[in-house]
Amino acid sequence: DVVMTQTPVSLSVSLGGQVSISCRSSQSLVHNNGNTYLSWYLQKPGQSPQLLIYKVSNRFSGISDRFSGSGSGTDFTLKISRVEPDDLGVYYCGQGTQYPTFGAGTKLELK
């Protein structure tokens, strides 16, 4: 299994601030076809997860440009700028290069 390790476990932020969430995989996520299948999801309280970012840095339809993804190989980062109340919840990274696995989540809360 590819183990996904997210840090930190929780994060406090002021509205309008910026945060970064780290995700590290136990193996390289570069697929044989050259793509890197690392994605980010947000689960708001009481809701299903929603896709934010796919293939490391591609924003899904309708996702604000305040969300950006970066990284390569085994180290990846989600950055959220100008944090808004609707951004609060638990963020998960996931990989699809091998059979899919997810990180344990990072809870974003208001300071």
Which residues make up the interface to other proteins (CB under 8 A)? Answer: 35, 37, 39, 41, 48-51, 54-55, 60, 90, 92, 94, 96-97, 99-102, 104-105
Would you give the distance in Å from CA 108 to the centre of its chain? 12
* 74/95 with CB nearer other proteins: 95
- Closest separation between CB of residue 37 and other proteins, Å? 4
Tell me how far apart the alpha carbons of residues 7 and 31 are, in angstroms, rounded to a whole number: 24
Q: Which residues contact 73 (CB under 8 A, 6 or more apart)?
A: 28, 29, 30, 36
> At 38, phi and psi to the nearest 5?
-115, 130
* 16/45 with CB nearer other proteins: 45
- Closest separation between CB of residue 16 and other proteins, Å? 28
